[in-house]
């Protein structure tokens, strides 16, 4: 075998064995499917997290809020709570979209690079069959 071919094979194997497994899983998706899945996960986590925070706040300050509450204060608090949720969801959705777009582009770039390296290995394999190597096949 050619030393250059062996080095290329080792390089490809190192890329696949490292962190590339996760990136190659990402590259299998269509871009819109991957982004949709990540935004849906983001929506779920933000909603659950916000509910937990509101629940903890009400558990800690619930008695003080109920003592001197008026209808106007209640509508204001509910409006602020919903507004805070929408704002938090919007900010995190934009961040998730940007991060996942970059992550998907990186995964696709790695996939193209690995495909190119594998094509070169196949070309080397075909060209190696035509060359006679001294000492090969002898016992």
CB 96 within 8 A of CB 46: no
* Residue whose structure tokens are 């582009």: 105
**Phi, psi angles (nearest 5°) of residue 130:** -80, -20
Q: Are 5 and 124 in contact (CB under 8 A)?
A: yes
pTM listed for this prediction: 0.72
DSSP 30: -
Asked whether residue 38 is assigned to any structural domain, the reply reads yes
Alpha-carbon gap, residue 55 to 67, rounded angstroms: 18
Distance CA 37, CA 59 (A): 33
Q: Decide if 135 is inside a domain.
A: no
Determine, yes or no, domain membership for 29. Answer: yes
What six digits make up the tokens of 58? Answer: 């009400």
- Do the domain assignments include residue 139? no
Nearby residues of 66 by Cβ (< 8 Å), 6 or more positions away: none
State the residue range of the domain holding 79: 3-129
Q: Is residue 96 part of a domain?
A: yes
Domain contains 50: yes
Query: How many folded domains does the chain comprise?
Result: 1
Q: Please give the chain's pLDDT, 139 residues, in tens.
A: 567 777 777 777 777 777 677 888 888 899 999 999 999 999 999 999 999 999 998 888 877 777 777 766 788 888 999 999 999 999 999 999 999 999 999 989 988 888 888 888 787 666 666 555 555 545 4
Asked if the structure places residue 137 within a domain, the reply is no
- What is the sign, positive or negative, of the torsion defined by CA atoms of 46, 92, 21, 28? positive
């Amino acid at each position: 075998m050619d030393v250059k071919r062996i080095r290329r094979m080792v390089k490809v194997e190192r890329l696949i064995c490292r962190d590339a497994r996760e990136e190659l899983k990402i590259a299998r998706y269509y871009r819109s499917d991957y982004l949709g899945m990540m935004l849906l996960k983001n929506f779920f986590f933000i909603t659950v997290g916000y509910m937990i925070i509101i629940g903890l706040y009400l558990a800690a300050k619930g008695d003080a809020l109920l003592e001197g509450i008026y209808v106007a204060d209640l509508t204001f608090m509910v409006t602020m709570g919903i507004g805070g949720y929408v704002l938090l969801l919007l900010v995190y959705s934009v961040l998730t979209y940007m991060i996942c777009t970059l992550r998907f582009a990186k995964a696709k770039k790695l996939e193209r690079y690995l495909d190119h390296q594998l094509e070169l290995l196949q070309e080397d394999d075909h060209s190696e069959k035509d060359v006679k190597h001294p000492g090969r096949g002898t016992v």
